[in-house]
Structure 1
Amino acid sequence: MRGRVRGPAIAAGMLLVALLVVPAAADPRVRARIPTYDVVLTLRADGVLHVRETITYDFADGGRGIVRRVRYRDGDRVYEIRDVRASSSTGAPSRVRTTRLGHHLRIGVGTGGPEVRGRQAYVIEYDVLRAFTPRAGFDELGWDAIGTEGDVPIEHAAVRVEGPVRLRHVTCRAGATDAPGASVGCARDRDGRYAIDFTQSGLAAGEGMRVRVRLPDRAVAVPPPAYAPPHWAGTWAGTAMLVLAIAALALVGRRPPRGPRPRPVPRRRPSAGTGLLAAGGALILVDVADDVLAGGPWAFSLGDASLAGLALLSAGAGILFAHGVGEP
């Protein structure tokens, strides 16, 4: 009896190992690693944050470049990222391709080039505008020097903060910085009059380093922060209009079924319903275009114009349904 059970148990165990271990080993991102990740944050007197990232990437089974995701929108707060450029001291392809995806700027370096193997070094530079927040008596910067969007572990990371004045209030947290209580203080390596260094070892995938700096008031030029409209920007009037339209459509949908007709009469499409559908679609398109053309596809906010358009679409659909359009 024991022998009969042992065979199936061993087979089941081997199958479980194959399902869990083999796919992980086949994924090149599991074996890939970042030996060193060095970041220099330069706080310029004109209020611009200049970022220089030097990333050493060890491709396990080969790959086509690296991808860095930089958050340009945090809630309704919007940062302007410009002048993105990259290079490689090891000769790897370093052509830059940027795409706004979600609330992040996706920076692809060498992703469209030939495959590379082994250890490669990349340098990414960019400027961040409107990164400082004016406070009472000081100006504050909070920045993810190493974001938490990476899926490759980092063996050793270093962040250097350089300022135009003496840096007195600078802190750094490492780990899952986007989750409260899941981060720890970074190791403070060297302190200088105008520069402070932080280091951290053993960052797992999804862990990063976030720096917070307080500068004396007017130490740097700080333009007003930029805010995008919230994704839901409708007022009570627009919301009420949409709710009433949906309620009316629901009442129409509950009409009693009509008895069978011996000879169905084809019905013409009511012009009022068609007109409401067209007007509703036009309102939504205008509202979408107004936001998207100015700030990209993820800047769209659902305002009163879109709510009114949805209400007109609901009313038009209700009229068409009430007149039995499409019934045999």
Structure 2
Amino acid sequence: MPEVRDRIRGPAVAAAMSLVIAVFVLPGASSARAAAPGPPPAVESIPVYDVVLTIRPDGTVHVRETITYDFDLAGEHGIVRHVSYRKKNRLFDIRGVRTSSSTGAPARSETVKLLHDVQITVGDAGRKVRGRQAYVIEYDVAWAFTPYDDRDELQWDALGGDWDVPIGEAAVRVEAPVPLRRVGCQAGTAKSFTSCLRDRDGPYAIDFTQRGLRPRETMTVKVKLPKGAIDVPPPRYARPHWQGSWAGTAALAGALGAVILLAAVRPPRLRYVGEALAVTGVLLAAADLADDILIRGFWAFSLGDASLTGVALVIIGAAVARADRFRAREHAAVSRSGD
């Protein structure tokens, strides 16, 4: 029996030691590993944003943006830059868009007008990129200067103000064919801003820098040139989106009132009248909108009295047709109950 006890004692002691280690030692080690700080998750950002605004003698502005974008570990298909082509009713011509990448990232571009911006998409929908990539976007801006009696003035949002990631360091350089004497720069938002740091001055070029821009913050440059220093074409303006007078507004309000009246009254059979009114309204509104939309795109629409009258006719026509269908169903139900 002593030999049996000796043979059992060894494995029993080993099992007991294993149990002690499992209960007391391993939980502490695992919790220590859990508490140990690891690398922070990657966050998207723009470490460096460099912009060069070159004012040409013909009044156009050539823009070259070099955007160093740091993607997170999941990666993205590229970047999207929004450049305003309309501010209120003032129009700018964004043209000649060219894109490239010095880091070998896909840099094919697609442009589309969306709301009041030209949306420039740079990348490849079939390929993701990760890490730090550099993109170059170039384009020309026409009708950007505003002429005054004693000066010609340019005010330009150099970064766009629509990036939802922080920008570590931004630099904006203004170049002109004439000496630059009255140039300023503000960083931040329209409600909260500060003066940019003036980095280097020269007779024909001025540099501004700004660090630690938060998401949606930008740098806005204002340049004042002596009258006649460059050729400045007259600015272009779009018609307001709402151009209706009291007459058009009254027609629209009357149509809404007619809908309430039709809901309370049972009109005679006027199905075809309602459909004719709706078709006429659609044609009238389309004719009024076509000249703006066909020339400048959908977001250049302007609602004038003709458009408002057309919408009013569509509302009344649809209400009449619907009331007629409701009356027809009621009549059919009464006929079936009578049978």
C-alpha distance in structure 2 between counterparts of 1:197 and 1:322, whole Å? 68
Residue number in structure 1 paired with 2:240: 230
* Counterpart for residue 3 of structure 1: none
What is the CA–CA distance in structure 2 between the aligned matches of 1:94 and 1:113, rounded to whole Å?
Answer: 12
Contact (CA 8 Å) 1:269, 1:325: kept in 2 or not?
no
Normalized per residue, the structure richer in helix is 2
Shift of 1:233: 1.2
Contact residue 132 and residue 140 of structure 1 kept, 8 A: yes
What is the TM-score normalised by the length of structure 1? 0.83
Mapped contact 2:270–2:320 kept (Cα < 8 A): no
1-structure distance, mates of 2:45, 2:98: 23
Q: SS at the partner of 2:234?
A: coil
Aligned positions, number: 289
Matched, 1:310 2:322: no
Residue of structure 2 equivalent to 1:114? 127
Matched, 1:128 2:136: no
In 2 relative to 1, CA 134–247 (structure 1 residues): closer, same or farther, beyond 3 Å? same
Name the residue aligned to 1:192. 202
Q: Which structure 2 residues correspond to residues 43-122 of structure 1 after superposition, within 5 A?
A: 43-61=55-73, 62-122=75-135
- 3-state SS in 2 of match to 1:327: helix
Q: Kindly state the Cα deviation for residue 311 of structure 1 after the two structures are TM-superposed.
A: 1.9
Determine if contact 2:50/2:171 at 8 Å carries over to the other structure: yes
Q: Pick closer, same or farther for the CA change 1:319–1:67 going to 2, 3 Å.
A: closer
Is 2:302 the partner of 1:290?
Answer: no
What is aligned with 1:278?
279
Secondary structure at the counterpart of residue 258 of structure 2: helix
What is the SS of the residue equivalent to 1:63? Answer: coil
Q: Give the SS at the match of 2:200.
A: strand
Paired position in structure 2 for 1:221: 231
Whether the 8 Å contact between 1:89 and 1:122 is mirrored in structure 2 is yes
Q: Given the alignment, which residue of 170, 178, 183 partners 2:193?
A: 183
**Amino acid aligned to 2:253:** V
Offset of 1:239 from its aligned partner?
A: 1.7
Q: Please say if residues 67 and 111 of structure 1, whose CA atoms lie closer than 8 Å, have aligned partners that are also in contact.
A: no
2: CA distance between counterparts of 1:57 and 1:112?
17
Which residue in 2 is equivalent to 1:160? 173
Q: Could you tell me how far 1:84 is from its partner in structure 2?
A: 0.2
| Helix, strand or coil at the partner of 2:280 | helix
The DSSP-based 3-state class of the residue aligned with 2:317 is: helix
> What does residue 245 of structure 1 align with?
255
Task: Give unpaired runs (5+ residues) of structure 2.
Answer: 1-39, 331-339
The unaligned stretches of length 5 or more in structure 1 are 1-23, 259-266
Letter in 2 for 1:86: T
- Given that residues 272 and 321 in structure 2 are in contact (C-alpha distance below 8 angstroms), is that contact kept between their aligned partners in structure 1? no
Give the counterpart letter for 2:67 in structure 1. I
Distance across 1 between alignment mates of 2:101 and 2:320: 63
Larger radius of gyration: 2
1:238 Cα deviation after fit:
1.6
**In the aligned structure 1, how far is the partner of 2:318 from the partner of 2:327?**
10
Query: How far 1:210 moved relative to its partner?
Result: 0.4
Please state how far the C-alpha of 1:326 moved relative to its aligned partner. 4.7
Distance 1:67 1:124, change over 3 A: same
Measured after TM superposition, the shift of residue 284 of structure 1 is 2.0
1:246-293 per-residue CA deviation (whole Å, 9 max, x = no partner) reads: 2233233233x79xxxxxxxx855322221111112222223333221
- 1:135-150 matches, within 5 Å, as 135-150=148-163
Partners of 1:65 and 1:113 within 8 A in 2? no
Q: Which runs of 4+ in 1 moved over 4 A?
A: 321-326
Counterpart amino acid of 1:302?
L
What is the CA–CA distance in structure 1 between the aligned matches of 2:319 and 2:44, rounded to whole Å? 56
For residues 54 and 296 of structure 1, the distance between their equivalents in structure 2, rounded to whole angstroms, comes to 29
Q: 1:237, CA displacement in angstroms? A: 1.9
Q: Contact 2:278 / 2:318 at 8 angstroms: preserved in 1? A: yes
1:60 counterpart letter in structure 2: D
Q: CA RMSD in A?
A: 2.0
Alignment of 1:163-174 (within 5 A): 163-174=176-187
Distance 1:314 1:64, change over 3 A: closer
Aligned residue for 2:240, secondary structure, equals: coil
Deviation at 1:133, TM superposition (A): 0.5
